[in-house]
Amino acid sequence: MNGKQRMVEQSKQWLCDALINLMAQENFQDISITEIAQTAELSRKTFYHSFKNKEAVINYLCDQLFDQYFEQLLQQKPQVGEMMLKTTFDIFLNFWWQKRDLIQLLIRQGLFDHMNEIWQQKAIPRYQQFAAPWHVHGTPTQVNYVMAFQLGGFTNILRVWLGQDHPESPEQIKDLMLLAAQQLADSLNTN
Amino acid sequence: MNGKQRMVEQSKQWLCDALINLMAQENFQDISITEIAQTAELSRKTFYHSFKNKEAVINYLCDQLFDQYFEQLLQQKPQVGEMMLKTTFDIFLNFWWQKRDLIQLLIRQGLFDHMNEIWQQKAIPRYQQFAAPWHVHGTPTQVNYVMAFQLGGFTNILRVWLGQDHPESPEQIKDLMLLAAQQLADSLNTN
DNA sequence: AAACAAAGGAAACATTTGTTACCTTTGTTT
DNA sequence: AAACAAAGGTAACAAATGTTTCCTTTGTTT
């Protein structure tokens, strides 16, 4: 990355930070582009040079988040069986626990759905690089739907978990999830 | 409902229909309020009387959809075990199959996430009226997270299913889901 | 039937948005 | 070092948004 690109990235980051700061005090809908630019100490022109609109800033922010998440996931030592399930839960829960302030802000502003859209688009192709936390076999279509189910399930747990004012610790959620998974399996098998 | 309220509801419906028709041809972002009002043969004032903005129209639309869905779900004969799982899948898949034109429109316009947000908010409290398709027991917190997982999973399957130009028939998806559920259970038990 | 309340229409309004033109600054290239 | 390309700043612009005022129409109340 050369100096010119660094300048552009820096501006984008400043605008992002400005929007996040404003969102802590004001409703997303009511924040104007002028306000963001002023807070970032940049001109409105620079905003429109960096982003198409307010939503694009959120997109950029979410892109960064997911790249960070998948980086952590890729560093995971290859594992199998139950250990893999636990490791995947650990990474998932701890990552979002670290980012909880930002996520809670997004949830409160009704932007979690927006993040989810980006997650789904980026995650499905990327997940082909990994084995699923539980073993999946079958036709590509079958695998795809099982993936979609898991992905949607995890994301929604994240929504409920961090949507609370005082969310439980990652450890508590982990135990909860393992128990729930086991129960789900039991109930499906005994039916 | 008296005549006055009927008039208001009728206007809302006309504006809704107008927006849907316009969305089939034009990008949601690029549709102006003026355009919607003109298509509905109502004044811009009437639009702002009925809705806060364009997004509110989508909210209204989604609210209607979910009320219809839960009505169907409530008519379901009380059942237990595997039959209940199949019945729930049937209602879910057939309902959305009927509405597939609208859902596909929403997905293409990047509004599925918006619908999802409304679904989640309305569904979690409402689901307390039902037993889950598979048996869930435990603390209220545990039940809540298992519910969230299932709900998120189903919704995401809907996204993947109807996001395609030529989605599979509901019967095919049903078989796929039952198989996937069984597999999930097996893999969790053998780990 | 008369009075009233609420909805819709017309039109004007300030604000915000997104775009453009022109100029200055700054990093890259040769 | 000079020429160049790209980014940022200022300012103006048309278009759209959301709000308001005033007036007409329509259904409800008494």
pLDDT of B44 reads 94
pLDDT of A132 reads 66
Interchain pair A134, B110: CB under 8 A: no
Residue nearest to nucleotide C17 (CA to C1'): A33
Sorted by sequence, the CB contacts under 8 Å of residue B122 that are 6+ apart come out as: B63, B66
Q: Write out the two tokens for B26.
A: 């034009």
Tell me: pLDDT of A168 over 70: yes
State whether the beta carbon of A88 lies below 7 angstroms from any atom of strand D. Answer: no
pLDDT of B130 reads 66
Q: Which residue from B145, B177, B186 is facing A177, i.e. has the nearest CB?
A: B145
CATH number at B1-51: 1.10.10
Selected residue with higher pLDDT from A5 and A79: A5
pLDDT of A131 reads 60
Q: Which nucleotide is closest, CA of A44 to its C1'?
A: D9
Tell me: pLDDT of A185 over 90: no
State whether the beta carbon of B45 lies below 7 angstroms from any atom of strand D. Answer: yes
Q: Is the pTM of this model over 0.75?
A: yes
Interchain pair B136, A187: CB under 8 A: yes
User: Which residue out of A85, A93, A187 would a mutagenesis test of the B interface target, given it has the greatest number of B Cβ atoms within 10 Å?
Assistant: A187
Q: In whole angstroms, what is the distance from residue B102 CA to residue B99 CA?
A: 6
Q: Write out the two tokens for A142.
A: 């079958």
- pLDDT tens string B154-179: 999 999 999 999 999 999 999 888 88
Residues of B in contact with A112 (CB under 8 A): 117
Percent of chain A with pLDDT over 70: 91
**Chain A residue at shortest CA distance from B180:** A146
Q: In whole angstroms, what is the distance from residue B6 CA to residue B8 CA?
A: 5
- Domain borders along chain A are 1-51, 59-190
Q: In whole angstroms, what is the distance from residue B86 CA to residue B133 CA?
A: 8
Reading phi first (left if > 0) and then psi (alpha if -120 to 50, else beta), residue A41 is in: left
Residues of chain B with pLDDT under 50: none
Counts of helices then strands in chain B (DSSP H, E) = 9, 0
- The distance of B52 to chain A (nearest Cα, Å) reads 12
Selected residue with higher pLDDT from B50 and A2: B50
Interchain pair A188, B182: CB under 8 A: yes
pLDDT of B177 reads 82
State whether the beta carbon of A4 lies below 7 angstroms from any atom of strand C. Answer: yes
Tell me: pLDDT of A36 over 80: yes
Residues of A in contact with B141 (CB under 8 A): 168, 176
Q: What number is the average pLDDT over the span A108-132?
A: 82
Q: In whole angstroms, what is the distance from residue A99 CA to residue A69 CA?
A: 10
pLDDT of A48 reads 96
Provide DSSP, chain A.
--HHHHHHHHHHHHHHHHHHHHHHHS-GGG--HHHHHHHTT--HHHHHHH-SSHHHHHHHHHHHHHHHHHHHHHTSPP--HHHHHHHHHHHHHHHHHHTHHHHHHHHHTT-HHHHHHHHHHHHHHHHTTS--SS---S-HHHHHHHHHHHHHHHHHHHHHHHTSSSPPPHHHHHHHHHHHHHHHHHHHHH-
- pLDDT tens string A86-96: 888 899 999 99
The mean of the pLDDT values for chain A is 88
pLDDT of B1 reads 60
Tell me: pLDDT of A56 over 70: yes
Reading phi first (left if > 0) and then psi (alpha if -120 to 50, else beta), residue B110 is in: left
- pLDDT tens string A128-149: 666 666 666 788 888 888 888 8
**Interatomic separation, CA of residue B111 and C1' of nucleotide C10, rounded (Å):** 33
